[in-house]
Structure 1
Amino acid sequence: MGDHLLEVQDLSVTFHTVRGPVHAVRDVSWHLDRGEVLAILGESGSGKSVSASAVMDLIDIPPGEISSGRILFEGRDLLTMSRDERRMINGKRIAMIFQDPLSHLNPVYSVGWQIEETMVIHGTSRSEARAETVRLLRKVGIPDPEGAAKKYPHQFSGGQRQRLMIAMALALRPDVLIADEPTTALDVTVQAQILALLEELQTETGMGLLIITHDLGVVAEMAHRVVVMNGGQIVETGSAAQVYHTPQHPYTQKLIAAAPGQGDMSLGVAEQEPLLRLTDVKKNYGDFAALKGISFDLLAGETLAVVGESGSGKSTMAKVLLRLEEASGGKAEYEGRDLFALSPAELFEMRRDIQMVFQDPTQSLNPGMSVYDLISEAWVIHREILSKDKWKARVAELLEQVGLQAEHMHRYPHQFSGGQRQRIAIARALALEPRIIVCDEAVSALDVSIQAQVIELLDSLRQELGLSYIFIAHDLPVVRDFADRVIVMQGGEIVEQGSVRQIFEAPRMRYTQELLAASLNPDPEVQAARRVKRLEMAQ
């Protein structure tokens, strides 16, 4: 019974709702040994995070209920321990880092105080905790750890905040570290750094590492063993190589088939006069140059991907193009007219032709408006497009065009999944019959199979309607499958651009090579080769 460091046996978790019980986890069993990396793989709603929350005693009871099972830590059942016993284990012996560090770091306390407090409540003196905090910040790669300890969470980048969470979790040298989607929405190079840091710390301390993820690339990079979950149950287990190369369950097969980066690369669109041309576009914020004179063309019916790390200028370029912010210099010519020189009335008309789909539909869709209101709002603003008696039929047509049903128009955003909300956002953009859609990280936070569905939808709409896309992304396998051409940005400049085949097969610039080397591949064997290449490039 005490053979494994952590063991979950026949765990079932039920949530009691007004619509009846929801069986989130059903008879789940898995184990984690010291020095091992176990990945729990599955999509949203699979139950993977609920089982980890049960380990950490983070399930709200009620409405949640652990209806059966045992959770053994060094042979002792956590579920039968007293609150005081559990408190001595949580944080000190079993620690957890979360997907969104900003929502788990208190914005009104310095990060140093928060890390110190983790140790102080478990008996460490404040002075010892302060010294250990500086050591931990240095260990996880935070620059100027003494100064950083005095700063607040909002003063750090996303990758740095994740490092802070890791420092906090490691403060008491736990035996088990649970990492719940630790790299989702991070840049590929930052993701690689975080995973390398976790691996280094795990090797150094001998702790058991449990990674919860929907990313097959993370599994290929990190995991010794994999547990695949679907619908609250375990459908398959095995080594990372076994699960990828010889999947037994149809759900696992579907996940692997949906992984991006496996399809044929585009041959591009026919040469023609550009639909959109940016020339020497600049954007300054005081003394800081966010865009340093970027130039590129977009052809009709083309998908142009823009890749680069956070701070490279990708999203700033999109905002400037759409005149959500004003350019500091340069031109953006659309069908021969400079968008930056348009009057307010001319700009109003132009907005019909260039639309945007944002990363998080939860924030871009008004929660107080029905789907019908969200889509038809475009025609309230641009009355010349469609007479009001035709709105309902057109909303139904748009919803069906993006793979939803006409009756969905009467629902509200919170009644849909993330992938469905993104489809609504796309339908809303299509309502104005645009010629160009700017997608700013539009699929980065979606599960792999939902991501594949949305990409397939965007591609079919491009062929059906002749759309052009500016596709801003950090997920290089998705770019490889979807784009015709690629622009690589770094520090506000375009460092390389070319066809998708040229960028992925023969990148010229070292920065592009480093981005590609840091990108994760779902095949463990390919990923092992990339790891070797990364190490060679670092030397």
Structure 2
Amino acid sequence: MAEHLLEIRNLSVQFHTAGGTVHAVRNISWHLDRGETLAILGESGSGKSVSASAIMNLIDMPPGEITSGEVIFAGKNLLAMSDDERRAINGKRIAMIFQDPLSHLNPVFTVGWQIIEVMRIHGVPADAARARALDLLKRVGIPAPDTAMRKYPHQFSGGQRQRLMIAMALALKPDIVIADEPTTALDVTVQAEVLALLGELQKETGLGLLLITHDLGVVADIADRVVVMNAGEIVETGTPDEVYHNPKHPYTRKLIAAAPGRGEMHEPNATGEPLLKVENLCKSYGSFTALKGVSFTLQPGETMAVVGESGSGKSTLARALLRLDEADSGHAYWKGQDLLKMPAKELYKLRRQLQMVFQDPTQSLNPRMTVYQLVSEAWVIHPEILPKPQWRARVEELLTQVGLSPAHAERYPHQFSGGQRQRIAIARALALRPELIVCDEAVSALDVSIQAQVIALLDNLRRELGIAFIFIAHDLPVVRDFADHVMVMQAGECVEVGTVRQIFENPQRDYTRRLLDAGLDPDPRVQAARRMPNARIGAEVG
């Protein structure tokens, strides 16, 4: 039998913490062959990212400790190599695409400098490195590569930043690319483009792709084999078709059952005066027009989903409504009062009724505050809501509601995964018992089962407390399960609006149909039938 490109043998990793030893990875074994895509599927805390970090020598030791196992690459055990030997391999022969590109791109250096640096460290001459960087930016579909080389990470959209990370990973033509949730925060068409791009590059170079994900749709679309992990252990392996259609382990069956897009569609029945009425909202940034006369109404207890590609104006709309950015013109009537004209003192009193869950909890949560302080801060600002002796119990109740442990209250944001940080942000928003919550990609980073729990939680709050939601999302199956109405945005305009059934079963605009076609189905057989249209989308844009 030919030697595997990469082989993990009996790997175990643990972390020594103040609360005891955490066994993050327990005696796992798998292999990756050249030209193959292996998906490691599992929820936060399953050990999938820890095992990838062991390959790249990214585990902090202490508190981490690799207690057993081997990582065999090119006939040698990476775990037995010196730091100098590992540095010669990392980046050059094994590269990594991280989950959150904004956290892994240096904000004070241009992206061109950062891509060139990867090559210069491994001895590539400056002129050759610059030429290669320009070629890579073209290859991954970044517009105007010469200009882009001089820009900083914050000047790119989320999808473009992920493409930059891909360019950086491919700079030295590695044998293996480890992609850690590479499409989690991307809208459906950009996700299709990125997956198609990875597939094309894999065919061209024959690299082995290790894909870490919690998204069954991504597994169905791109994986050759899948390894399912739970609580640090491998519970199931096989092809995507075998695992989806004939799951052996209860945990795998639970993941499949939690996949969104299978439930009954909501039929709106709200009547009476609208809670929020938006008329001709406009917003520009210099010469760029982000919102072009957007109008819609929202009834009490109703969910309006806002969908569209990066740059369509979804987040700008949310920020303008909450006065985080000032709109140029238009009206937003909240119970008859125009939010956009309201004096600061009145707006301050109203803030508790309007809350927002931001897309990136890494940026929205103060890293110096504990979870308890983050959630209870709302009552410091609005002390009339809850007496201080009740704060601790209420924080623990909120953490339990969003799928966290009360014991997490004394930890800091950096001690959690991306999905767990988003749950903290949701608990923080719920603390004020608002009438409207604006969710900007609030569940995009969550595992499928936790996502299902959080959506069920939000749905219960809507029914029991009458909370309304503006739900900005790129995950169309979640929108199908949760929303009452859908507003489709493109280039700052509302191009189509209707009930969930109207949008999903009878879309009127080509753009809406393209969004729906770009979505991923968790069933590999269904997704296989849709691959050709998705591949065309990637080819047209990339």
Q: Same fold (TM over 0.5)?
A: yes
Structure 1 residues 209-218 or 149-158, which shifts more?
149-158
Q: Is the 8 A contact 2:307 2:487 kept in 1?
A: yes
Q: Is the 8 A contact 2:47 2:230 kept in 1?
A: yes
What is the alpha-carbon root mean square deviation over aligned residues?
A: 2.8
Distance in 1 (CA, whole Å) between partners of 2:531 and 2:188 is: 13
CA displacement, residues 475-526 of structure 1 (integer Å, 9 cap, x when unaligned):
1111111001100111111011101111112211111112112222211112
1:170 to partner: Cα distance:
1.7
Q: Tell me the TM-score normalized by structure 1.
A: 0.91
1:272 to partner: Cα distance:
3.3
Q: Is the 8 A contact 1:370 1:410 kept in 2?
A: yes
One-letter amino acid of the counterpart of residue 88, structure 1: A
CA displacement, residues 414-443 of structure 1 (integer Å, 9 cap, x when unaligned):
477766655554454444443222222211
One-letter amino acid of the counterpart of residue 86, structure 1: R
Distance in 1 (CA, whole Å) between partners of 2:5 and 2:342 is: 66
Residue 29 of structure 2 aligns to a residue whose secondary structure is strand
Q: Is the 8 A contact 1:12 1:26 kept in 2?
A: yes
1:144 to partner: Cα distance:
2.5
Q: Is the 8 A contact 1:444 1:473 kept in 2?
A: yes
Q: Tell me the TM-score normalized by structure 2.
A: 0.91
Q: Indicate how the Cα distance of structure 1 residues 104 and 433 shifts in structure 2: closer, same or farther if over 3 A, else same.
A: closer
- The correspondence of residues 304-319 of structure 1 with structure 2, limited to 5 A, is 304-319=304-319
CA displacement, residues 306-334 of structure 1 (integer Å, 9 cap, x when unaligned):
11122222122122212223222111122
Distance in 2 (CA, whole Å) between partners of 1:302 and 1:31 is: 48
1:113 to partner: Cα distance:
3.2
Q: Is the 8 A contact 2:56 2:90 kept in 1?
A: yes
Residue segments in structure 1 that go unaligned for 5+ positions in a row: none
Q: Where does residue 144 of structure 1 map in the other structure?
A: 144
One-letter amino acid of the counterpart of residue 394, structure 2: V
Q: Is the 8 A contact 1:357 1:440 kept in 2?
A: yes
1:181 to partner: Cα distance:
1.3
1:237 to partner: Cα distance:
0.2
Q: Is the 8 A contact 1:365 1:413 kept in 2?
A: no
Structure 1 residues 82-91 or 485-494, which shifts more?
82-91
Q: Is the 8 A contact 1:398 1:430 kept in 2?
A: no
Q: Where does residue 298 of structure 2 map in the other structure?
A: 298
- The correspondence of residues 387-406 of structure 1 with structure 2, limited to 5 A, is 388=387, 391-392=390-391, 395=394, 399=398, 402=401
Residue 154 of structure 1 aligns to a residue whose secondary structure is helix
1:135 to partner: Cα distance:
2.0
- The correspondence of residues 342-381 of structure 1 with structure 2, limited to 5 A, is 342-361=342-361, 363-366=363-366, 374=374, 377-381=377-381
Q: Is the 8 A contact 2:270 2:300 kept in 1?
A: no
Q: Indicate how the Cα distance of structure 1 residues 121 and 423 shifts in structure 2: closer, same or farther if over 3 A, else same.
A: closer
Q: Where does residue 190 of structure 2 map in the other structure?
A: 190
Residue 123 of structure 2 aligns to a residue whose secondary structure is coil
- The correspondence of residues 73-472 of structure 1 with structure 2, limited to 5 A, is 73-361=73-361, 363-366=363-366, 374=374, 377-382=377-382, 385=385, 388=387, 391-392=390-391, 395=394, 399=398, 402=401, 411=410, 414=413, 422=422, 425-472=425-472
Q: Indicate how the Cα distance of structure 1 residues 165 and 335 shifts in structure 2: closer, same or farther if over 3 A, else same.
A: closer
1:350 to partner: Cα distance:
2.8
Q: Is the 8 A contact 1:402 1:423 kept in 2?
A: no
Distance in 1 (CA, whole Å) between partners of 2:393 and 2:60 is: 43
Q: Indicate how the Cα distance of structure 1 residues 303 and 172 shifts in structure 2: closer, same or farther if over 3 A, else same.
A: same
Q: Is the 8 A contact 1:376 1:391 kept in 2?
A: no
Q: Is the 8 A contact 1:487 1:498 kept in 2?
A: yes
One-letter amino acid of the counterpart of residue 457, structure 2: L
Distance in 1 (CA, whole Å) between partners of 2:378 and 2:348 is: 12
Q: Indicate how the Cα distance of structure 1 residues 107 and 347 shifts in structure 2: closer, same or farther if over 3 A, else same.
A: closer
1:381 to partner: Cα distance:
4.1
Q: Where does residue 507 of structure 1 map in the other structure?
A: 507
Residue 351 of structure 1 aligns to a residue whose secondary structure is helix
Q: Where does residue 516 of structure 2 map in the other structure?
A: 516
Distance in 2 (CA, whole Å) between partners of 1:503 and 1:186 is: 21
Q: Is the 8 A contact 2:192 2:535 kept in 1?
A: no
Distance in 2 (CA, whole Å) between partners of 1:121 and 1:420 is: 35
Q: Indicate how the Cα distance of structure 1 residues 101 and 419 shifts in structure 2: closer, same or farther if over 3 A, else same.
A: closer
Q: Indicate how the Cα distance of structure 1 residues 403 and 494 shifts in structure 2: closer, same or farther if over 3 A, else same.
A: closer
Q: Is the 8 A contact 1:396 1:406 kept in 2?
A: no
Distance in 1 (CA, whole Å) between partners of 2:426 and 2:91 is: 42
Structure 1 residues 448-457 or 74-83, which shifts more?
74-83
Residue 183 of structure 2 aligns to a residue whose secondary structure is coil
Residue 272 of structure 1 aligns to a residue whose secondary structure is coil
Distance in 1 (CA, whole Å) between partners of 2:427 and 2:449 is: 20
Q: Where does residue 496 of structure 2 map in the other structure?
A: 496
1:153 to partner: Cα distance:
2.8
CA displacement, residues 178-235 of structure 1 (integer Å, 9 cap, x when unaligned):
1111112112211111111110000111111111111111111110000011111111
Distance in 1 (CA, whole Å) between partners of 2:10 and 2:365 is: 40
Structure 1 residues 4-13 or 431-440, which shifts more?
431-440
The count of aligned residue pairs is 538
1:152 to partner: Cα distance:
3.1
Residue 268 of structure 2 aligns to a residue whose secondary structure is coil
Q: Indicate how the Cα distance of structure 1 residues 223 and 331 shifts in structure 2: closer, same or farther if over 3 A, else same.
A: same
Q: Is the 8 A contact 1:372 1:395 kept in 2?
A: no
Q: Is the 8 A contact 2:399 2:424 kept in 1?
A: no
Q: Indicate how the Cα distance of structure 1 residues 403 and 204 shifts in structure 2: closer, same or farther if over 3 A, else same.
A: closer
Distance in 2 (CA, whole Å) between partners of 1:413 and 1:65 is: 22
One-letter amino acid of the counterpart of residue 138, structure 1: K
Distance in 2 (CA, whole Å) between partners of 1:102 and 1:408 is: 29
Give the greater-gyration-radius structure (CA): 1
Distance in 2 (CA, whole Å) between partners of 1:92 and 1:404 is: 40
CA displacement, residues 239-273 of structure 1 (integer Å, 9 cap, x when unaligned):
01111111111111111111111211112224433
Distance in 1 (CA, whole Å) between partners of 2:240 and 2:277 is: 45
Q: Where does residue 23 of structure 2 map in the other structure?
A: 23
Distance in 2 (CA, whole Å) between partners of 1:373 and 1:107 is: 28
Percentage of matched positions with identical amino acids: 68
Q: Where does residue 7 of structure 2 map in the other structure?
A: 7
Residue segments in structure 2 that go unaligned for 5+ positions in a row: none
1:391 to partner: Cα distance:
4.6
Q: Is the 8 A contact 1:413 1:421 kept in 2?
A: no
Q: Indicate how the Cα distance of structure 1 residues 122 and 410 shifts in structure 2: closer, same or farther if over 3 A, else same.
A: closer
1:355 to partner: Cα distance:
2.4
Q: Indicate how the Cα distance of structure 1 residues 365 and 163 shifts in structure 2: closer, same or farther if over 3 A, else same.
A: closer
Q: Indicate how the Cα distance of structure 1 residues 13 and 296 shifts in structure 2: closer, same or farther if over 3 A, else same.
A: same
Q: Indicate how the Cα distance of structure 1 residues 409 and 128 shifts in structure 2: closer, same or farther if over 3 A, else same.
A: closer
